[in-house]
Amino acid sequence: MARSSITHSTQSPSWFTPRRLLMMFCVINMLNYVDRGAIASNGVNGSIRTCDDKGICNSGSGIQGDFNLNNFQDGVLSSAFMVGLLVASPIFASLAKSHNPFRLIGVGLSVWTFATAGCGSSFDFWSIAICRMLVGVGEASFISLAAPFIDDNAPVAQKTAWLATFYMCIPTGVALGYVYGGFVGNHFNWRFAFWGEAFLMLPFAVLGFVMKPLPLKGFAFTESKEALTSIEALASIPEEDDNEGIGSNASVKGSNRLKGKTTILQQLSRISRDMKVLLLDRVYVVNVLGYISYNFVIGAYSYWGPKAGYNIYHMSNADMMFGGITIVCGILGTLAGGIILDRMNATISNAFKLLSVATFLGAIFCFSAFCLRSLFGFIVLFSVGELLVFATQAPVNFVCLHCVKPGLRPLSIAMSTVSIHIFGDVPSSPLVGVLQDHINNWRGTALILTAVLFLAAAIWFIGVFLNSADMFDEDGENHISADTKASMEPLLEDRTEMSDNFNEA
């Protein structure tokens, strides 16, 4: 009876419907990137202390002014979160095989909430840099697990469109972050921007612990297994006298310590084995290499864009201008990329075709924009360029999810995200800062940076000619029984779909 009641409770549908889950994940993703935009905005980032020829100095503003940071240190702050992301992403992806992924997201969002609050309370460069690293730890669980949840529960004919909706929140969040950071920093203080982010994320962190956990395709629902194992173990314990119980307790403690060490070794071995599979997958490697080159440019655009626009075109409202362009082009471009790939028939080969063409055309428009002297001409060409460039968001993540077996999807997304940050936007922000310090010409810096988009287009073009197979419906690395497979199916079903299935039966 205990066995049947546990099975029934874990099989019962969650309060979430697919659309509710998508909406919640979109808001969380947007808050993640509002933080990125806010720290890059002129209102929060501020300006360095400067002195004129007469020796009169201003105090600067924002983080850069308060902590007296040079451009390199300022660029490091935008990339510090990567340290936490790099360490935590493969750990969270591996833990998903032994712990419920939904609960892991709750843990990550809690860390993120406390870390952003810490950024607002920082007192020097190192204190805010450490808090930015912890922000990366918190984000690691969400970015590696959210996309597989969405891919599981999206309608078959709209998978890429749903992924596009989720990844649309990246440019939207960054753009809102520019506006939010500029408004809060200029009217109150840059610290309030971080405290506001923490306050907005707190309900979602709590929700990750109080809501009924959800299963993920390719992973057993571990909580039910643990409960069942505990009940069976209690039922099998024979009656013993007190002396035997004392000896038994000591034996159990020793066994638990040994089991803990074995579990850690197993986790490390599993990560190593899974990483080897990803590195030997040519489709995955080519996709990520293109994504790294692409993100090298986009990361630097998002961080240095407002400052470059202010210096090249003397935009008095650079935060609002770049925020407006990014939010409109980000939404339209990302959604268009997902919808177009669905219409083309969402295959890995078609995804590479879309990636290479959209990036190549986007690079031409963005490069031409920075060549113009006219502000109006720049806005028009750069807007078209960003529209094309953002069309890659859904296809590139579609390839990451579908070129590997379901059990590898969290690690695939995690390592893709780690790679594009550690080799892409993490070095690009400080390197662009060093380049600008050297040549002291924002237009030249922007043109050199934009040229990297042509490299991304060339790499993705190679992917068109690779043999690729969609692995979404393949079994995981372990042989799974039919009963366990049934328990691993997503719990989220629309009520209409459930009733149709009942009527057919």
The tens digit of pLDDT for each residue in 109-140 reads 999 999 999 988 888 888 888 999 899 888 88
**pLDDT band per the 50, 70, 90 thresholds, residue 353:** very high
Percent of the chain with pLDDT over 70: 74
Please state the pTM of the whole predicted model. 0.69
Cα separation, 441 vs 309, whole angstroms? 12
Q: Nearest CA to 86 among 394, 405, 397, 425?
A: 425
DSSP 16: -
Measured at the alpha carbon of residue 410, what is the angle toward residues 404 and 413, in degrees to the nearest 5?
Answer: 75
Q: Nearest CA to 161 among 334, 34, 25?
A: 334
pLDDT exceeds cutoff 80 at 486:
no
Q: Among 180-189, 307-316, 398-407, whose mean pLDDT is lowest?
A: 307-316
Q: How far is CA 453 from the centre of its chain?
A: 21
Residue 446 CB neighbours (<10 A): 27
**According to the model, what pLDDT value does residue 474 have?**
63
Percent of the chain with pLDDT over 90: 17
Residue 46, Ramachandran bin (φ over 0: left; ψ between -120 and 50: alpha; else beta): left
Q: Among 40-44, 260-264, 493-497, whose mean pLDDT is lowest?
A: 493-497
What is the residue type of 495?
Answer: R
Cα separation, 1 vs 455, whole angstroms? 61
Higher-confidence residue of 60 and 433: namely: 433
Residue 125 CB neighbours (<10 A): 18
Q: How far is CA 129 from the centre of its chain?
A: 20
First vs last Cα of the chain: how many Å apart?
27
The tens digit of pLDDT for each residue in 440-463 reads 888 888 899 999 999 999 999 999
Radius of gyration of the chain (CA): 25
**pLDDT band per the 50, 70, 90 thresholds, residue 53:** low
Q: Which residues contact 149 (CB under 8 A, 6 or more apart)?
A: 21, 25, 101, 102, 214, 216
SS3 150: helix
Higher-confidence residue of 466 and 485: namely: 466
Cα separation, 502 vs 305, whole angstroms? 54
Residue 483 CB neighbours (<10 A): 9
Cα separation, 177 vs 114, whole angstroms? 19
Cα separation, 263 vs 268, whole angstroms? 9
Cα separation, 21 vs 350, whole angstroms? 28
β-partners of residue 57 are: 51
β-partners of residue 61 are: 47
What string of DSSP letters covers 395-412? HHHHHHHHSS-GGGHHHH
**pLDDT band per the 50, 70, 90 thresholds, residue 6:** very low
> Under a CB-based contact definition with an 8 Å cutoff, are residues 147 and 397 in contact?
yes
pLDDT exceeds cutoff 70 at 253:
no
β-partners of residue 306 are: none
SS3 377: helix
